[in-house]
Chain A
Amino acid sequence: MRRGVLFYAQFAFTLAVCAFLIVPVILSIMAGVTVNFFHGITSGITLRWVFQVWDLYSDTIYLSLLIALTCLVCTVVLGVPAAYVLAKRQGRIGRIIEEFVTLPLAIPGLAIALALLIVYGEFRAFRMSWLFILVGHVLYTLPFMLRAVLAVLSTADFRTLEEGAASLGASFWQRFFGIVIPNCRSGILAGSLMVVTLSVGEFNLTWMLHTPLTKTLPVGLADSYASMRLEVGSAYTVVFLIMNIPLLMALQLYGRPAKPRTVVAEEGAGAAVPAADAAR
């Protein structure tokens, strides 16, 4: 097949857009591993800045991971049963509740943080601990888990599956853990990857909620940009990318199962929600 001018024009445009997005990232990575960015790559390549970042900010990385994983546990424990109940009761009230849970997506993170500060700011110990940030992250990521699980629950005929299990003598809990949960694994997996990615990269909320002792990775990143040499900030970016890119790749792989696992076709669970924040 002969390709026309239009094809090459489109191809060039696509490459240009990709370059626009990728070049700053590449430059940033290069800045993180060069001895002196202003002298360029000729000044030599070093991991010195990366080690310096590790020395200065490793606790922010651990805290980010701690918050992300705890946040994941919370969203699974809260989101999966909530999605199950919403899928079962598809009335008007169910839809209103779903909208309410999704609301944090429409409100700026700063506003949510401010609201949290107004309500819980008085509780000193709570406000000072990382749990305060966790609450913000759970609020912000819960809709993603809920939607991902709901998408799977609404495609397969779970009602009949449950009735089948009940007819065989299974109690509610046996049905829930033996039939419902295993059959919405793909949704839970997609939601989990989304939640961890978002939590690790979350800045808006966290910046408002953090204290000098509870800095997460993105907050530390802002800190280093503001107060450190450019190479250190860039090296920090490298660390962040190393943490988040595998998650993003996993999200691409498992977030939208190409081949449906269950009898009924499944939609890509997380496809409806943009991963914009995660890519920041």
Chain B
Amino acid sequence: MTRRTGGTSVRLIECAKTFAEGTRALEPLSLDIAGGETVVFLGPSGCGKTTTLRLIAGLERPDAGGRVLFDDEDVTDLPIEARNVGMVFQSYALFPNMNVEGNVAYGLKVRRTPPKELAARVAEMLAMMEIGELRDRRVDQLSGGQRQRVAIARAIAVRPRVLLLDEPLTALDALLRERLRVDIDALLRKLGVTAVYVTHDQAEAMALGDRIVVMSQGLVTQIGTPREIYYRPANRFVADFVGTMNRVTGTAADGFLETRSGRIPWEGTERGEVEVLFRPENAAITTPGEAHLRGTIRTAFFLGDRTRLLVEGVGATPIVVETSGRREYREGEEVGLRIEPGSLLTLSD
């Protein structure tokens, strides 16, 4: 985990949000975000992640009793324009009546920055986001990726205390998303600004977050580093939402787990009927002699760098296994699986 110092810390104390028509968008949430840290809120739509971001931004007020602190300053009653945050929207929200330069300069102009300083800062931002040659373009003459670069430049030009990104890459196609994600990661590290990033894309969350807050139905289900979330999911929701998880049930005894399709070495303390979970990358296709489990291939997806196999007859639902070998797999073929012993997980809920 990389903790960077110097940024503004953000503290949410018992922040809940109920909308006027009675919908509870967020259950009381307390969270400390360290200065310079990047926290990613991850979850399906309607889970409360955007509401949380808007509470930090000042676009929403928490229900009575909730407080939002920037460092030691209580900003709960400050509207967004007084909080000095930078915000990047999924829909970019660039001003169509201004060109690129005008958009980037807007926050500085509103702050009555002296012209010389303003020009220097705008030039710096355009260079940093590599959009210098676009400075005179109108907003509707830009591609999606370019628009988001302008939006980021505009948000960081005012040196915000906290940078808030609301699904900034969702509207872009896969290739651009990947590239901009790398750029955003480098940018956040370089600036050392406290950042809150909202997404429903677990790959984005893994790549960008110092910590990930997984949310579901207005509740935080787990807070942890990407590794903790991935390797030690706290519950079934997190296990299923982040990455792919296979499930196999069996009877645990000393040293092994007996399942309907074979035996897996067992190091756990549970005994009797258990459900174990493992990631696709922790299972390997092997010869029948070395296999722990046996199953039948239902579908094989050739993905180029690897082949993804759906194997039946192992768990209640087909399990997913990936192999990088050049061998071709056919439907109905019998395969042996070897599971990495330390990789088995059990979850109580």
Which A residues fall within an 8 A CB radius of B? 156-157, 160-161, 163-171, 174, 178-179, 182-183, 185, 261-263
Q: A165-B106, A168-B154, A169-B107 are in contact. Are A183 and B87 (CB under 8 A)?
A: no
How far is B93's CA from A156's CA once the two chains are assembled, in angstroms?
A: 10
How far is B106's CA from A170's CA once the two chains are assembled, in angstroms?
A: 9
- Which chain A positions have C-beta within 8 A of B164? 167
Closest chain A residue to B111 by CB distance? A169
How far is B91's CA from A156's CA once the two chains are assembled, in angstroms?
A: 11
Given contacts A160-B93, A161-B95, 6 further A-B contacts (CB under 8 A): A164-B87, A165-B106, A169-B81, A169-B84, A170-B106, A263-B139
Q: Is B110 a contact of A168 with CB atoms below 8 Å?
A: yes
Closest chain A residue to B106 by CB distance? A168
Tell me how far the C-beta of B170 lies from the nearest C-beta in chain A, rounded to whole angstroms.
Answer: 14
- Which chain B positions have C-beta within 8 A of A164? 87, 89, 93-95, 151, 154
How far is B93's CA from A163's CA once the two chains are assembled, in angstroms?
A: 8
Q: Is B140 a contact of A262 with CB atoms below 8 Å?
A: yes
Interface centre among B59, B110, B111 (most CB of A within 10 A): B110
B86 on interface, CB distance cutoff 8 Å = yes
Q: Is B79 a contact of A166 with CB atoms below 8 Å?
A: yes
The one of A166, A168, A171, A183 that contacts B97, using a Cβ cutoff of 8 Å: A183
**Interface majority SS (helix, strand, loop, mixed), chain B:** mixed
**Interface majority SS (helix, strand, loop, mixed), chain A:** helix
Closest chain B residue to A156 by CB distance? B96
Q: A160-B89, A182-B97 are in contact. Are A167 and B140 (CB under 8 A)?
A: no
Tell me how far the C-beta of B33 lies from the nearest C-beta in chain A, rounded to whole angstroms.
Answer: 18
- Which chain A positions have C-beta within 8 A of B85? 167
B155 on interface, CB distance cutoff 8 Å = yes
- Which chain A positions have C-beta within 8 A of B245? none
B169 on interface, CB distance cutoff 8 Å = no
Q: Mark B133-144, 1 if CB is under 8 A from A, else 0.
A: 000000110000
- Which chain A positions have C-beta within 8 A of B107? 168-170
Q: Is A163 a contact of B80 with CB atoms below 8 Å?
A: yes
B158 on interface, CB distance cutoff 8 Å = yes
- Which chain A positions have C-beta within 8 A of B97? 179, 182-183, 185
Tell me how far the C-beta of A162 lies from the nearest C-beta in chain B, rounded to whole angstroms.
Answer: 9
**A-B contact list, 14 entries, CB within 8 Å:** A164-B95, A164-B151, A166-B59, A166-B80, A167-B80, A167-B86, A168-B154, A168-B158, A170-B110, A178-B110, A179-B95, A183-B95, A262-B96, A263-B140
Closest chain B residue to A262 by CB distance? B96
How far is B57's CA from A185's CA once the two chains are assembled, in angstroms?
A: 29
Closest chain A residue to B151 by CB distance? A164
- Which chain A positions have C-beta within 8 A of B87? 163-164, 167
6 tightest A-B contacts by CB? A168-B107, A164-B93, A167-B87, A182-B97, A262-B96, A160-B93
